Amino acid sequence: MSDLNSGRQGSSGGPNWLAAMSIPVTLLVLPGVGGYAGAAADRHWGVSPWGILAGVVLGLVLAAVRIRYLLAQLSEEDRKEGNTENREK
């Protein structure tokens, strides 16, 4: 897992583009990889469509776990930096 601590904040004070773009990329890539692996399982074992379905579901679960980890990491960084402007609104 990459460390997003270094260089997280840009000149505008907002999140780095890498941190912002990692969520949609994660939502696209992990289910896609799971679907590809599931399609390979379908071809190998002849269990269509269960392999691709299981692969996509597993990819979505892994994406949710990764996004939860990322959001927790970013939230912890905000707490350490003392950024409370979002909580005041």
In three state form, how does the secondary structure of 6-37 look? Answer: CCCECCCCCECHHHHHHHHHHHHHHHHHHHHH
Residue 63: the pLDDT is 96
**What does pTM read for this prediction?**
0.71
Measured on CA atoms in the order 71, 73, 32, 48, is the torsion positive or negative?
negative
CA separation for the pair 76, 70 (Å, rounded): 10
**Domain boundaries along the sequence of the chain:** 17-83
Share of the chain above pLDDT 90, in %: 52
AA letter at 83: N
